[in-house]
Each structure stands twice: as structure tokens, then as C-alpha cells.
């Protein structure tokens, strides 16, 4: 009898050990769908953001019932924001001048300032992101698109960094990409802060002339412009003090004798040498010290995710020593 009880006890123990081994070796039932649950949570978060009603630059309230599946962008800055938000697949049409990122070159073109209304309507996008800068020549076309039953959201023309951040966040809201928009803005602010810290150490403040078009009609940004904000942020002095955009003569530039000349256009071949060789420019400090620098105008003229990079490039052109 004693032996029988021992055998029974061993059998019970063996059963428990096998059960324990089976629990350890087999994957947990809720391990497998973890990724799926995460994706479901993300989808639920996007769905919960809709419907959302946003007011555009002309005061129209646009209601988005869900994240748009097809998008037309009518401005390069809009396009850069949309791509940065991860909406490559959703973008079906872009402006003729869109060249960044490279994927934009592969998208269907809808025209420039004079856009093709019929083509846009034929695409039947869920939303058209227009721009306030196009109102002068495009409002009639915008209305024709609206009359075809297609939503048109006119994006505000940002005139400073804060308005650029707000634009990115607003487009993020409209497309269900609020988290992505927040990340973009945070990264931009971090880059801006980094540039400001570096240039704050400058002891020799530079006087700068910014040139945005070639002679004979040389234009430059003065006070109350985006470029003036950039110069203020990096502690550089604009030699032009007039308000807004100013046409300036070569003689006046020579008279101002800037320490640095920043050229903000690329349509003229060998423009750096061309500027240096203008009559009287050999006497300018910027030319004597070889401080005529070209910066990609798209980095500062397109109010999108690359604007912080534009700030850095202008700062490097004026104060290269603090970035070495």
C-alpha cells in the first residue's frame, strides 16, 4: 500500500511538472497580436481626431469627416509639409515648381500660378490645399473647384517662424497627422535654439546685405520681412533699414559697404563672380574678404519643415566660424 501511494504521488508530481514546462515553453496568447493591437490603437486615435472643423485663410470653415485619402497641393511649401507628414501615397497632384522632396517630381503636375482647374477636378481629390499667396490670380479657379464639390483649404501665408509652426500643426490636424506635426515642430524649434545659442557667442556683429534678384533690378528684404526675423535671430545687422522689400542700386550697396553679401537666388550662372565683378564692388569689405555667399532660396522662402535648416544656412554664411 505504501508503495502504491508513492507511485501515485510521483504521477501527480510528474503531471504538474509537465504542465509547468508547457506554460513556460508555449508563447503567451496575447504576445502574438501585440503589434496588431498597437496598430489598432493608432487607427483608433486617428479616427477619434475626426470630424474636425478648421478655418482657412479666407475664413471658410472646412469640416474633415476623416483623414483625406487623396490630396492635391498647390504650393511648394504645402507640398513639403505634406511629404514631411508622411503623406506620399495620399498626394496625387502638385504644383509645377515642386521639386522637394524628390518624390514630388514623380507626382502629377497641376500647373503653377495659372493652374489647370479641369485637371484638378478630374482627379476628384478629397481635399485641395491651396495657398493665400495664390488668391490674387487663383480665387476664381478655387471657386470652380469648390463648385465641383471638392473641398479647398486655403493655407495662411506664414510670415514668421511661429506662423510656420501653426501652419504645420493645422495641416497635421486636417490630415490626421497631429503627432507627426508635433514632432516636426519640436525638431524645428530644437534646431532654431541650437543656431541661436551658437550665434549668441559672436563678438564681431556683421553688417549684411541680402540680395534676392540680379542687376539691374536688385531687390532686398528690409524691415518687417521674414529675412529680417532671421537676421535678428542670429544677431546680424541688415544694412537696409527701409520697410518691406526694397529695390536698391549697386551704388547704394557700395555705399553701405556690407561685411557679408548673401545671394538668395540661383537663376544666374556664376552669380558669385558676377556680383564681385560689378562696378565699384571691389571696394566692398564683403568682396575684399571673399564673403559673398550663395544660399538656397527655397530653404528660406518656403515656410515649411526646412525653414530651420534655412536659418542655419544663413547663419553659416554670415558666421561660419561658430559652426566649425
pLDDT in tens, 80-133: 999 999 999 999 999 999 999 999 999 999 999 899 999 999 999 999 999 999
H or E segment and range at residue 219: strand 218-221
Give the pLDDT of residue 55.
Answer: 98
Give the pLDDT of residue 47.
Answer: 62
pLDDT in tens, 135-162: 988 899 999 999 999 999 999 999 999 9
Grid cell locating 53: 472643423
pLDDT in tens, 224-251: 999 999 999 999 999 999 999 999 999 9
Residue 23, pLDDT > 80, answer no
Give the pLDDT of residue 49.
Answer: 84
Give the pLDDT of residue 43.
Answer: 56
Mean local confidence (pLDDT), 199-212: 96
Q: Residue 219, Cβ neighbours under 10 Å: how many?
A: 16
DSSP-assigned letter for residue 322: G
Q: Residue 299, Cβ neighbours under 10 Å: how many?
A: 19
- Quick one: pLDDT band at residue 188, thresholds 50, 70, 90? very high
Give the pLDDT of residue 31.
Answer: 45
Mean local confidence (pLDDT), 297-311: 96
Of residues 94, 103, 93, 86, the one with CA closest to residue 46: 86
Residue 6, pLDDT > 60, answer no
Give the pLDDT of residue 206.
Answer: 98
Residue 36, pLDDT > 60, answer no
Give the pLDDT of residue 274.
Answer: 97
Mean local confidence (pLDDT), 184-192: 98
CA distances from 208 to 27, 51, 294 (A): 66, 48, 13
Give the pLDDT of residue 39.
Answer: 52
Residue pair 137/114 in contact by the 8 Å Cβ criterion: yes
Residue pair 221/245 in contact by the 8 Å Cβ criterion: yes
Residue 268, pLDDT > 70, answer yes
CA distances from 188 to 20, 80, 279, 313 (A): 53, 14, 41, 14
Give the lowest-confidence range in 17-31, 48-62, 270-284.
Answer: 17-31
Amino acid at each position: 500500500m505504501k508503495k502504491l501511494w508513492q507511485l501515485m504521488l510521483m504521477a501527480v508530481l510528474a503531471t504538474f511538472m509537465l504542465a509547468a514546462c508547457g506554460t513556460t515553453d508555449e508563447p503567451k496568447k496575447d504576445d502574438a497580436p501585440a503589434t496588431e493591437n498597437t496598430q489598432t490603437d493608432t487607427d483608433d486615435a486617428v479616427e477619434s481626431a475626426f470630424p474636425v472643423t478648421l478655418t482657412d485663410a479666407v475664413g471658410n470653415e472646412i469640416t474633415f469627416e476623416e483623414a483625406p485619402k487623396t490630396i492635391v497641393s498647390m504650393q511648394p511649401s504645402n507640398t513639403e509639409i505634406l511629404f514631411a507628414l508622411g503623406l506620399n501615397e495620399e498626394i496625387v497632384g502638385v504644383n509645377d515648381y515642386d521639386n522637394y522632396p524628390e518624390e514630388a517630381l514623380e507626382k502629377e503636375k497641376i500647373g503653377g500660378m495659372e493652374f489647370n482647374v479641369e485637371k484638378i477636378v478630374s482627379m476628384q481629390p478629397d481635399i485641395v490645399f491651396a495657398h493665400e499667396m495664390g488668391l490674387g490670380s487663383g480665387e476664381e479657379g478655387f471657386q470652380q473647384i469648390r463648385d465641383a464639390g471638392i473641398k479647398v483649404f486655403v493655407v495662411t501665408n506664414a510670415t514668421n517662424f511661429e506662423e510656420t509652426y501653426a501652419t504645420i500643426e493645422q495641416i497635421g490636424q486636417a490630415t490626421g497627422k497631429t503627432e507627426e506635426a508635433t514632432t516636426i515642430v519640436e525638431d524645428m524649434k530644437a534646431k532654431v535654439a541650437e543656431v541661436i545659442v551658437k550665434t549668441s557667442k559672436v563678438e564681431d556683429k556683421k553688417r549684411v546685405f541680402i540680395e534676392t534678384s540680379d542687376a539691374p533690378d536688385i531687390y532686398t528684404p528690409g524691415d518687417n520681412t521674414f529675412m529680417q526675423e532671421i537676421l535678428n535671430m542670429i544677431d546680424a545687422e541688415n544694412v537696409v533699414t527701409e520697410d518691406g522689400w526694397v529695390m536698391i542700386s549697386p551704388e547704394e550697396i557700395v555705399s553701405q559697404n556690407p561685411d557679408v553679401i548673401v545671394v538668395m537666388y540661383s537663376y544666374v550662372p556664376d552669380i558669385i563672380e558676377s556680383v564681385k565683378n560689378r562696378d565699384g564692388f571691389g571696394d566692398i569689405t564683403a568682396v575684399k574678404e571673399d564673403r559673398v555667399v550663395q544660399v538656397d532660396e527655397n530653404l528660406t522662402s518656403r515656410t515649411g519643415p526646412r525653414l530651420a535648416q534655412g536659418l542655419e544656412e544663413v547663419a553659416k554664411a554670415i558666421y561660419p566660424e561658430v559652426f566649425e
